[in-house]
Structure 1
Amino acid sequence: MTEPKFDELIHPSTRLSIVALLAPADWIDFAFVRDHLKLSDSALSKQFATLEEAGYLKVERPVSDRRRRVRVRLTAAGRKAFDGHVAALREVLGAVDD
């Protein structure tokens, strides 16, 4: 079981949405995340940079069909932070039912 731990870095709604989208996947294309969350390229890039700097996200820029693509995935640290954050949120929500 994951230890509940509230994470201030991933708590803001945009970052939490990004991490939640990446959690069940191996790699996801930048464009998919951008379109799914309806963010601009610059807004998403800024969030990715923050998560990458924290060690929560890995960004790759492979060349495919002569085009540079950007794809991202959670790191082990990012997955642990997300799982702990979700567990902490569940504790908070569980207290509502009491």
Structure 2
Amino acid sequence: MSPLFDHVIHAPIRLQVCSMLSTLDDAEFAALRDAFGISDSVLSKHLRVLEEAGYVALRKSASGGRTRTWARLTRTGRVAFAGHVAELRRLADGLPPQSIRGS
């Protein structure tokens, strides 16, 4: 995995979603919403962007007469998140980009 800045992940809410999902198998929509203190519509928008990029998979299930939505980070999403975090660490450490390291 090489460091790679990812503009899809970098938005603060999406970065937080990916971070939380990277430690879990999946998470319910309401748990994500409550953890970040955001509205349903804001979370829906960010999950849609991540889903369209192939980073998050959503599933719906009926429970107690209502539909619940669950989100999980896909393999592609895990690789992209790890690369993004590696790039943020590289930037924070003041290291040159990989393409010019060791030149």
TM-score (norm 2): 0.88
* CA root-mean-square deviation: 1.1
Deviation of the 1:38 alpha carbon:
0.5
> Which residue in 1 is equivalent to 2:40?
41
**CA–CA distance in 2 between the matches of 1:75 and 1:54?**
10
What amino acid sits opposite 2:17 in the alignment? Answer: I
- Structure 2: give runs of 5+ residues left out of the alignment: 96-103
2:57 is paired with a residue whose SS is: strand
**CA–CA distance in 1 between the matches of 2:56 and 2:89?**
23
TM-score (norm 1): 0.92
**CA–CA distance in 2 between the matches of 1:18 and 1:42?**
15
> Which residue in 2 is equivalent to 1:76?
75
- Bigger CA radius of gyration: 2
Identity across the alignment (%)? 43
- Structure 1: give runs of 5+ residues left out of the alignment: none
Q: Give the aligned length.
A: 95
> Which residue in 2 is equivalent to 1:7?
6
Is 2:93 aligned against 1:94?
yes
**CA–CA distance in 1 between the matches of 2:44 and 2:60?**
13
1:62 is paired with a residue whose SS is: strand
Greater than 4 Å deviation, 4+ residue runs: none
